[in-house]
Structure 1
Amino acid sequence: MYEYDVDATRRSEFERVYGSAGDWADLFRKSPGYVGTDLFRRVDETGDRYLVVDRWSSEQAFLAFKASFGEQYERFSNQVRGLYRAEVRLGALETGHS
């Protein structure tokens, strides 16, 4: 999970790149362990903050993706840095087991 501070003038481009059908999701879909992406925009205090949740079948599936596509991942990450003012990694979660 990541939180992004996005300039209002870049919102639509950010949403196109980071949304569930966006450019990041296209890259992630190359991995069989990718489940999907959810993009949320805050509606309280400021609409300039987004939460991006990329879902994977397991942490190992994500690590396998990074091992196979790490170079592309880093290159694309560098290309899109101008779409946001700040990026904060909030951590990784897994579903609760009962």
Structure 2
Amino acid sequence: MIATIWRFRVHPEMAQAFERAYGPHGDWVRLFERADGYAGTELLRLHGEPSTWLTIDRWRSEGDYERARASFADEYTALDRRCEAYTSDETWLGLHSVVA
């Protein structure tokens, strides 16, 4: 199992739209659910910093993640562009191995 982690700085006035897009039933989850090996997403709001959020996307393997990115490249790019309006900063924190 692997996880990709992203940090976002969200414009305060866009917090609800951000939650709708990145939350457990949001646009990103609906895209990823179509891919083999997708195991879920967590949306975390950093305590004490209300404009900072983390997403943790879990995948069965790095190969599943890479195949999903390739298979849905156009949709991924279009959704990413639309969601840019919600944030002032988006930082990929890497691909992580899940330790059981």
Shorter-chain TM-score tier: over 0.9
Identity across the alignment (%) = 31
Q: How does 1:1-98 map to 2 (within 5 A)?
A: 1-44=5-48, 46-96=49-99
- Consecutive aligned runs of 4 or more in structure 1 exceeding 2 Å deviation: none
Query: Within 2, Cα distance between the matches of 1:32 and 1:72?
Result: 16
TM-score computed with the length of structure 2 as normaliser = 0.91
Q: Which runs of 5+ in 1 are unaligned?
A: none
Q: How many residues align?
A: 96
- Greater relative contact order (CA < 8 Å, ≥ 6 in sequence): 2
The two structures, once aligned, show a CA RMSD in angstroms of 1.0
TM-score computed with the length of structure 1 as normaliser = 0.93
Greater percentage in strand: 2
| Deviation per residue, 1:4-42 (Å, 9 max, x gap) | 000111111101100111110000011021110000001
